[in-house]
Structure 1
Amino acid sequence: MSTTFATIDWRGRAVRIECEWIAPERGDAPLVVFLHEGLGSVAMWKDFPAQLCAAGGFRGLVFSRPGYGRSTPRDADETWDVDFMHRQAHEVLPPLFDALGIAEAPWLFGHSDGGSIALLHAARFADKIAGLVVLAPHIFVEDKTVANIELARSAYLDTDLPQKLGRYHDDPDSAFWGWNRIWLHPPFRHWNIEAELEGIRCPVLAIQGEDDAYGTLQQIRGIASRVPPTQLLELPDCGHSPHRDQPQAVIDATVSFIHNRRHP
């Protein structure tokens, strides 16, 4: 794996994006782009992207969104709006792909907020995405999601969570508060992207754990009702991070999904 940085112009300033390539020498292999969760980063994925790419013979791109990992942190007074995931999908991904010279249609592999961003990007740029694998994505806001994000806020204030996140982010306050404040902002309770999903034209594999503390199975079932024929994988004994709780099941399903859709 090789780490590099790309610079994009976003919100009127230059933003540096931390990127890591996996097996770039596999020139003709499908490219899988990994989009992390609300507190994720390149480092937070650990070795899962490499394992998946090795199993499928894929190339991979892992990156940290603005405000995360080693990417440019948020300004101290910068707050995110209710449309923050739309902005990531519509305003960050296209210039990032341009800066990295990605002209092909990649496969997007997104977890949690990253899954929602993948869905939004595919809905807007339908002809530029080969397919989607989304793990525990959000398509609307549920009470249990907000309740557990409130618990995370208490943990950040009262425990060593900032030090733990500091292993994965240059500025853990930037990563945590950007995510936490918008999810707990009262107007965000009305955030809903169900209608936008109907713009998706590529194949979709939606995966969720039956024990997900941050959402019910209505999230991925809602995708299937809007984007037929979405393939669903509901995993027992699995929480909000299927790639950590059930990595082999996720790898097997993803490899089969991409190869079968690439060579029907």
Structure 2
Amino acid sequence: MTMPSAMPMHDDDIRFATLPAREGREALTIEYQWIEAGGRDAPLAVFLHEGLGSIAMWRDWPRQLCERLGMRGLVYSRPGYGRSTPRAHLVKWPVDFMSQQACEVFPLLLDALHIDEDERRRMWLIGHSDGGSIALLYASAFPTMLQGAVVIAPHVFVEDISVRSIAQAKQAYEHTDLREKLSRYHADVDSAFYGWNDIWLDPEFKAWNIVDRLARIVCPVLAVQAEDDHYGTMAQVDTIARAVRGARLCKLPRGGHSPHREASATLNDAIVQFVETARA
């Protein structure tokens, strides 16, 4: 996990949407932000953050990419992160929490923001880490409601390297200044950290696997992975390439787990080339 050096907050741009209550849970408040780089009639790019991410953690990268793509952008913090409804401290995310985000919470947010079916058919998802997995799950569950997806350091099954690094993150959170650094990005930092950390370190989560769902994806997919990522290996994107017809791979020699921060120029060029080719 690589932390941005500072957090630019554009509070005037942040808005909040209310998602209706469902059986077993109360209504949710979701913080979101529009990026109007491409104009109101441009295709929509939705950014899905990593397991410890939020609107603020993205910094200015979504805006930079939307300007190059000529797209509008939507950035939001999932429940438990940023200034969205926090996770209750005694509540543990279920093993299928990413499926819940993809198939229930995200579609409800699209409804709340009045994003109609025509806009969804032209929509692109750009997901990082857990957000990449959520993008793949949405593409599988709603194959006609998406134009394409870019998934950066996604997970489609659990690797030992991921579990080891997440266990190390727990030690850093509890014994270094990591908690203080993360508190800049989350109203309830313990909600964000332990929601992510506890489920990934749960022995039952080792069996989590979404490979069988990938074959249902019909939209163009670009899967990105860096060689020096300590949260995952090339096995993740190689599996996507085998399972998703026509998927493209971008393998970076460097970029860590966050190539949009550590290798942004190379990554942006790859995404722009992929999107332009797919749209053509």
Identify the TM-score tier after normalising by the shorter chain: over 0.9
Percent of matched pairs sharing the same residue = 56
Mapped contact 2:37–2:70 kept (Cα < 8 A): no
CA RMSD of aligned residues (A): 1.2
The ranges of structure 1 where at least 4 consecutive aligned residues each deviate by more than 4 angstroms after the TM superposition are none
For residue 25 of structure 1, report the CA deviation from its aligned partner.
6.6
For residue 160 of structure 1, report the CA deviation from its aligned partner.
1.2
Q: Matched residue of 1:127: which SS?
A: coil
Aligned to 2:19: 8
Moved more, 227-236 or 19-28: 19-28
Q: What's the CA shift string for 1:18-68, capped at 9, x where partnerless?
A: 101001670221210000000000000000001101111111000000000
Structure 1 residue 248 corresponds to structure 2 residue 265: yes
For residue 76 of structure 1, report the CA deviation from its aligned partner.
2.2
Question: Which among 170, 180, 197 is matched to residue 214 of structure 2?
Answer: 197
Structure 1 residue 147 corresponds to structure 2 residue 164: yes
Distance in 2 (CA, whole Å) between partners of 1:247 and 1:142 is 25
Q: Which runs of 5+ in 1 are unaligned?
A: none
Q: Matched residue of 1:17: which SS?
A: strand
Q: Matched residue of 1:21: which SS?
A: strand
Distance in 1 (CA, whole Å) between partners of 2:266 and 2:43 is 20
Distance in 1 (CA, whole Å) between partners of 2:266 and 2:30 is 30
Q: Matched residue of 2:144: which SS?
A: helix
Q: Which runs of 5+ in 2 are unaligned?
A: 1-9
Distance in 2 (CA, whole Å) between partners of 1:196 and 1:228 is 13
Aligned to 2:277: 260
TM-score by length of 1: 0.97
Structure 1 residue 75 corresponds to structure 2 residue 88: yes
Task: Give the AA of the match of 1:21.
Answer: W
Distance in 2 (CA, whole Å) between partners of 1:24 and 1:232 is 27
Q: What's the CA shift string for 1:55-106, capped at 9, x where partnerless?
A: 1111100000000001010112211110010111111011000000111121
Aligned to 1:20: 33
Pairing of 1:112-191 with structure 2 (within 5 A): 112-191=129-208
Task: Count the aligned residue pairs.
Answer: 263
Structure 1 residue 34 corresponds to structure 2 residue 47: yes
Task: Give the AA of the match of 1:204.
Answer: V
TM-score by length of 2: 0.92
Mapped contact 2:218–2:245 kept (Cα < 8 A): no
Q: What's the CA shift string for 1:149-192, capped at 9, x where partnerless?
A: 00000011111111111100000000000000000000100100
Aligned to 1:233: 250
Moved more, 178-187 or 50-59: 50-59
For residue 193 of structure 1, report the CA deviation from its aligned partner.
0.4
Task: Give the AA of the match of 1:76.
Answer: H
Q: Matched residue of 1:156: which SS?
A: helix
